[in-house]
Structure 1
Protein backbone atom coordinates (compact mmCIF):
# COMPACT_ATOMS: atom_id res chain seq x y z
CA UNK A 1 0.00 0.00 0.00
CA UNK A 2 1.94 3.06 1.24
CA UNK A 3 5.63 2.94 2.11
CA UNK A 4 6.47 6.50 3.17
CA UNK A 5 4.02 8.99 4.66
CA UNK A 6 4.63 12.71 5.11
CA UNK A 7 2.87 14.22 8.13
CA UNK A 8 3.00 18.04 8.16
CA UNK A 9 2.21 19.54 11.55
CA UNK A 10 1.78 23.03 12.91
CA UNK A 11 1.45 21.77 16.48
CA UNK A 12 -2.12 23.01 16.85
CA UNK A 13 -4.93 20.86 18.25
CA UNK A 14 -6.14 19.43 14.90
CA UNK A 15 -2.60 18.30 14.01
CA UNK A 16 -2.09 16.80 17.46
CA UNK A 17 -5.40 14.93 17.16
CA UNK A 18 -4.51 13.58 13.70
CA UNK A 19 -1.05 12.45 14.80
CA UNK A 20 -2.12 9.29 16.66
CA UNK A 21 -4.31 8.23 13.75
CA UNK A 22 -1.55 8.88 11.23
CA UNK A 23 1.03 6.92 13.21
CA UNK A 24 -1.39 4.01 13.66
CA UNK A 25 -2.06 4.06 9.90
CA UNK A 26 1.68 4.10 9.16
CA UNK A 27 2.17 1.14 11.48
CA UNK A 28 -0.68 -0.80 9.87
CA UNK A 29 0.82 -0.15 6.41
CA UNK A 30 4.39 -0.87 7.51
CA UNK A 31 5.27 2.61 6.28
CA UNK A 32 7.93 5.06 7.43
CA UNK A 33 6.87 8.46 8.61
CA UNK A 34 8.40 11.88 8.02
CA UNK A 35 7.18 14.65 10.29
CA UNK A 36 7.42 18.12 8.75
CA UNK A 37 7.11 21.57 10.24
CA UNK A 38 7.21 24.61 7.95
CA UNK A 39 8.52 27.88 9.39
CA UNK A 40 7.63 31.09 7.56
CA UNK A 41 10.59 33.41 6.94
CA UNK A 42 10.88 36.58 8.99
CA UNK A 43 9.32 39.73 7.50
CA UNK A 44 9.54 43.28 8.81
CA UNK A 45 6.13 44.18 7.36
CA UNK A 46 3.69 41.56 8.60
CA UNK A 47 0.52 40.84 10.52
CA UNK A 48 2.17 37.92 12.35
CA UNK A 49 2.38 39.02 15.99
CA UNK A 50 5.55 37.01 16.63
CA UNK A 51 7.35 38.85 13.84
CA UNK A 52 6.12 42.25 15.02
CA UNK A 53 7.60 41.89 18.50
CA UNK A 54 10.78 39.95 17.66
CA UNK A 55 14.08 40.67 16.02
CA UNK A 56 14.98 38.30 13.18
CA UNK A 57 17.30 36.40 15.53
CA UNK A 58 14.71 36.06 18.29
CA UNK A 59 12.04 35.05 15.78
CA UNK A 60 14.36 32.38 14.35
CA UNK A 61 15.14 31.00 17.81
CA UNK A 62 11.45 30.91 18.81
CA UNK A 63 10.43 29.39 15.47
CA UNK A 64 13.06 26.66 15.71
CA UNK A 65 12.10 25.86 19.30
CA UNK A 66 8.43 25.63 18.34
CA UNK A 67 9.26 23.45 15.33
CA UNK A 68 11.36 21.08 17.47
CA UNK A 69 8.53 20.82 20.02
CA UNK A 70 6.00 20.00 17.30
CA UNK A 71 8.25 17.39 15.77
CA UNK A 72 9.11 15.86 19.14
CA UNK A 73 5.41 14.98 19.42
CA UNK A 74 5.70 13.14 16.10
CA UNK A 75 8.89 11.40 17.19
CA UNK A 76 7.45 10.33 20.54
CA UNK A 77 4.29 8.93 18.98
CA UNK A 78 6.25 7.06 16.29
CA UNK A 79 8.68 5.60 18.86
CA UNK A 80 5.80 4.41 21.03
CA UNK A 81 4.24 2.60 18.06
CA UNK A 82 7.52 1.28 16.66
CA UNK A 83 7.23 3.27 13.43
CA UNK A 84 10.42 4.28 11.63
CA UNK A 85 10.46 8.06 11.38
CA UNK A 86 12.46 11.16 10.61
CA UNK A 87 11.69 14.83 11.19
CA UNK A 88 12.25 17.83 9.00
CA UNK A 89 12.11 21.60 9.51
CA UNK A 90 11.79 23.73 6.39
CA UNK A 91 11.67 27.50 6.05
CA UNK A 92 9.34 28.52 3.26
CA UNK A 93 7.01 31.38 2.36
CA UNK A 94 4.20 29.08 1.21
CA UNK A 95 3.62 26.10 3.51
CA UNK A 96 1.61 24.13 0.94
CA UNK A 97 4.48 24.36 -1.55
CA UNK A 98 6.97 23.27 1.11
CA UNK A 99 4.77 20.29 1.97
CA UNK A 100 4.47 19.17 -1.65
CA UNK A 101 8.20 19.75 -2.28
CA UNK A 102 9.17 17.78 0.84
CA UNK A 103 6.91 14.89 -0.15
CA UNK A 104 8.47 14.79 -3.60
CA UNK A 105 12.10 15.18 -2.49
CA UNK A 106 11.76 12.57 0.29
CA UNK A 107 10.00 10.11 -2.04
CA UNK A 108 6.81 9.97 0.00
CA UNK A 109 3.82 8.26 -1.54
CA UNK A 110 1.17 9.80 0.74
CA UNK A 111 0.66 13.13 2.50
CA UNK A 112 -1.44 12.77 5.66
CA UNK A 113 -2.52 15.99 7.34
CA UNK A 114 -5.13 17.58 9.54
CA UNK A 115 -7.83 19.96 8.50
CA UNK A 116 -8.51 22.89 10.79
CA UNK A 117 -12.11 23.01 9.61
CA UNK A 118 -12.28 26.76 9.04
CA UNK A 119 -15.44 27.85 7.30
CA UNK A 120 -17.01 30.95 5.85
CA UNK A 121 -15.21 34.28 5.84
CA UNK A 122 -12.38 33.02 8.03
CA UNK A 123 -11.56 30.26 5.55
CA UNK A 124 -11.73 32.76 2.70
CA UNK A 125 -9.41 35.27 4.40
CA UNK A 126 -6.94 32.88 6.00
CA UNK A 127 -7.08 30.16 3.39
CA UNK A 128 -6.46 26.52 4.02
CA UNK A 129 -3.06 24.95 3.60
CA UNK A 130 -4.77 21.57 3.49
CA UNK A 131 -7.01 22.76 0.66
CA UNK A 132 -4.00 24.11 -1.23
CA UNK A 133 -2.16 20.79 -0.82
CA UNK A 134 -5.26 18.93 -2.03
CA UNK A 135 -5.49 21.23 -5.04
CA UNK A 136 -1.82 21.15 -6.08
CA UNK A 137 -0.45 17.77 -5.00
CA UNK A 138 -0.06 14.97 -7.50
CA UNK A 139 0.33 12.54 -4.58
CA UNK A 140 -2.61 11.13 -2.64
CA UNK A 141 -3.58 13.25 0.37
CA UNK A 142 -5.28 11.79 3.44
CA UNK A 143 -7.10 14.46 5.45
CA UNK A 144 -7.93 13.91 9.11
CA UNK A 145 -10.88 15.87 10.43
Structure 2
Protein backbone atom coordinates (compact mmCIF):
# COMPACT_ATOMS: atom_id res chain seq x y z
CA UNK A 1 0.00 0.00 0.00
CA UNK A 2 1.01 3.63 -0.03
CA UNK A 3 3.67 4.80 2.42
CA UNK A 4 4.08 8.52 1.66
CA UNK A 5 1.39 10.88 0.39
CA UNK A 6 2.02 14.34 -1.06
CA UNK A 7 -0.90 16.69 -0.38
CA UNK A 8 -0.80 20.00 -2.29
CA UNK A 9 -3.06 22.64 -0.70
CA UNK A 10 -4.27 26.10 -1.70
CA UNK A 11 -6.01 27.17 1.49
CA UNK A 12 -9.53 27.07 0.10
CA UNK A 13 -12.54 25.06 1.30
CA UNK A 14 -11.86 22.23 -1.12
CA UNK A 15 -8.27 21.94 0.09
CA UNK A 16 -9.59 21.70 3.65
CA UNK A 17 -11.73 18.77 2.59
CA UNK A 18 -8.71 17.13 0.94
CA UNK A 19 -6.69 17.61 4.15
CA UNK A 20 -9.34 15.80 6.20
CA UNK A 21 -9.64 12.99 3.65
CA UNK A 22 -5.87 12.64 3.32
CA UNK A 23 -5.16 12.37 7.03
CA UNK A 24 -8.04 9.90 7.45
CA UNK A 25 -6.57 7.74 4.67
CA UNK A 26 -3.01 8.11 5.96
CA UNK A 27 -4.03 7.02 9.45
CA UNK A 28 -5.91 4.01 8.08
CA UNK A 29 -2.96 2.78 6.00
CA UNK A 30 -0.07 3.98 8.17
CA UNK A 31 1.29 6.46 5.64
CA UNK A 32 3.30 9.64 6.14
CA UNK A 33 1.97 12.91 4.67
CA UNK A 34 3.88 15.83 3.18
CA UNK A 35 1.69 18.92 2.84
CA UNK A 36 2.83 21.28 0.07
CA UNK A 37 1.81 24.83 -0.79
CA UNK A 38 3.12 26.31 -4.04
CA UNK A 39 3.51 30.07 -4.37
CA UNK A 40 3.73 31.19 -8.01
CA UNK A 41 6.51 33.61 -8.92
CA UNK A 42 5.16 37.15 -8.87
CA UNK A 43 5.31 39.05 -12.16
CA UNK A 44 4.27 42.62 -11.56
CA UNK A 45 3.19 45.14 -14.14
CA UNK A 46 4.63 48.46 -13.06
CA UNK A 47 4.50 51.94 -14.54
CA UNK A 48 7.12 53.07 -17.02
CA UNK A 49 10.09 54.65 -15.32
CA UNK A 50 10.53 52.12 -12.54
CA UNK A 51 14.02 50.66 -12.51
CA UNK A 52 14.55 46.91 -12.61
CA UNK A 53 15.89 47.09 -9.05
CA UNK A 54 12.62 48.58 -7.82
CA UNK A 55 10.59 46.01 -9.73
CA UNK A 56 12.74 43.16 -8.37
CA UNK A 57 12.36 44.48 -4.82
CA UNK A 58 8.58 44.81 -5.15
CA UNK A 59 8.27 41.32 -6.64
CA UNK A 60 10.44 39.84 -3.88
CA UNK A 61 8.37 41.57 -1.19
CA UNK A 62 5.14 40.24 -2.70
CA UNK A 63 6.55 36.70 -2.96
CA UNK A 64 7.73 36.89 0.66
CA UNK A 65 4.22 37.94 1.73
CA UNK A 66 2.73 34.99 -0.18
CA UNK A 67 5.24 32.58 1.37
CA UNK A 68 4.40 33.88 4.86
CA UNK A 69 0.68 33.46 4.15
CA UNK A 70 1.38 29.91 2.96
CA UNK A 71 3.37 29.14 6.11
CA UNK A 72 0.52 30.47 8.25
CA UNK A 73 -1.96 28.27 6.38
CA UNK A 74 0.29 25.23 6.83
CA UNK A 75 0.59 26.00 10.55
CA UNK A 76 -3.20 25.70 10.77
CA UNK A 77 -3.08 22.40 8.88
CA UNK A 78 -0.34 21.23 11.24
CA UNK A 79 -2.41 22.08 14.32
CA UNK A 80 -5.29 19.97 13.03
CA UNK A 81 -3.05 17.17 11.73
CA UNK A 82 -1.27 16.60 15.04
CA UNK A 83 -4.52 15.32 16.51
CA UNK A 84 -4.55 12.44 14.01
CA UNK A 85 -1.21 11.01 15.12
CA UNK A 86 -0.08 10.76 11.48
CA UNK A 87 3.58 11.49 10.73
CA UNK A 88 3.80 14.54 8.48
CA UNK A 89 5.86 17.46 7.35
CA UNK A 90 5.03 20.54 5.35
CA UNK A 91 6.71 22.91 2.95
CA UNK A 92 6.15 26.08 0.96
CA UNK A 93 7.91 26.41 -2.40
CA UNK A 94 8.02 29.17 -5.00
CA UNK A 95 7.85 28.24 -8.67
CA UNK A 96 6.58 29.23 -12.10
CA UNK A 97 4.39 26.17 -12.70
CA UNK A 98 2.62 24.74 -9.66
CA UNK A 99 2.01 21.35 -11.30
CA UNK A 100 5.74 20.96 -11.96
CA UNK A 101 6.55 21.86 -8.35
CA UNK A 102 3.99 19.30 -7.16
CA UNK A 103 5.47 16.54 -9.31
CA UNK A 104 9.11 17.48 -8.61
CA UNK A 105 8.58 17.59 -4.86
CA UNK A 106 6.63 14.33 -4.86
CA UNK A 107 9.57 12.68 -6.62
CA UNK A 108 12.20 14.33 -4.38
CA UNK A 109 10.35 13.28 -1.23
CA UNK A 110 9.81 9.73 -2.48
CA UNK A 111 6.02 9.99 -2.39
CA UNK A 112 4.11 7.07 -3.84
CA UNK A 113 0.73 8.88 -3.97
CA UNK A 114 -0.35 12.44 -4.71
CA UNK A 115 -3.72 13.36 -3.22
CA UNK A 116 -5.20 16.65 -4.32
CA UNK A 117 -8.43 18.56 -4.65
CA UNK A 118 -10.10 19.40 -7.94
CA UNK A 119 -12.63 22.13 -8.55
CA UNK A 120 -13.96 20.11 -11.50
CA UNK A 121 -14.29 23.14 -13.74
CA UNK A 122 -16.00 22.60 -17.04
CA UNK A 123 -16.47 24.47 -20.28
CA UNK A 124 -15.15 28.02 -20.50
CA UNK A 125 -13.92 28.04 -16.89
CA UNK A 126 -11.75 25.00 -17.61
CA UNK A 127 -10.36 26.61 -20.77
CA UNK A 128 -9.61 29.94 -19.09
CA UNK A 129 -8.34 28.78 -15.73
CA UNK A 130 -7.11 25.29 -16.49
CA UNK A 131 -6.51 22.87 -13.69
CA UNK A 132 -3.34 22.08 -11.83
CA UNK A 133 -4.89 18.72 -10.98
CA UNK A 134 -5.34 17.88 -14.67
CA UNK A 135 -1.77 18.98 -15.40
CA UNK A 136 -0.45 16.77 -12.60
CA UNK A 137 -2.50 13.84 -13.89
CA UNK A 138 -1.10 14.33 -17.41
CA UNK A 139 2.55 14.67 -16.43
CA UNK A 140 3.23 12.39 -13.47
CA UNK A 141 3.80 8.68 -13.24
CA UNK A 142 2.91 8.72 -9.54
CA UNK A 143 -0.69 7.65 -8.80
CA UNK A 144 -3.03 10.58 -8.08
CA UNK A 145 -6.13 10.44 -5.87
CA UNK A 146 -8.50 13.33 -6.61
CA UNK A 147 -10.86 14.74 -3.97
CA UNK A 148 -13.98 16.62 -5.08
TM-score by length of 1: 0.89
Moved more, 76-85 or 132-141: 76-85
1:37 is paired with a residue of what secondary structure?
A: strand
Moved more, 69-78 or 24-33: 69-78
Shift of 1:57: 3.9
Find the counterpart in structure 2 of residue 40 from structure 1.
Answer: 40
Asked if structure 2 preserves the Cα contact closer than 8 Å seen for 1:33 and 1:83, the reply is yes
Segments ≥4 residues shifted beyond 4 Å:
none
Q: Which has the larger radius of gyration?
A: 2
Shift of 1:38: 0.4
CA distance in 1, matches of 2:144, 2:36: 15
Shift of 1:44: 2.1
CA distance in 2, matches of 1:136, 1:77: 31
RMSD: 1.6
Find the counterpart in structure 1 of residue 50 from structure 2.
Answer: none
**Are 1:113 and 2:123 matched, yes or no?**
no
Per-residue deviation, residues 16-56 of structure 1 (Å, max 9, x unmatched): 1111011000111100000000011121249xxxxxxx922
Count of residues in Structure 1 that have an aligned counterpart in Structure 2: 138
**Are 1:102 and 2:105 matched, yes or no?**
yes
1:55 is paired with a residue of what secondary structure?
A: helix
TM-score by length of 2: 0.88
Find the counterpart in structure 2 of residue 76 from structure 1.
Answer: 79
Gaps of 5+ in 2: 47-56
CA distance in 1, matches of 2:94, 2:60: 14
Shift of 1:120: 1.2
CA distance in 1, matches of 2:29, 2:75: 22
**Are 1:87 and 2:107 matched, yes or no?**
no
Find the counterpart in structure 1 of residue 146 from structure 2.
Answer: 143
CA distance in 2, matches of 1:85, 1:72: 12
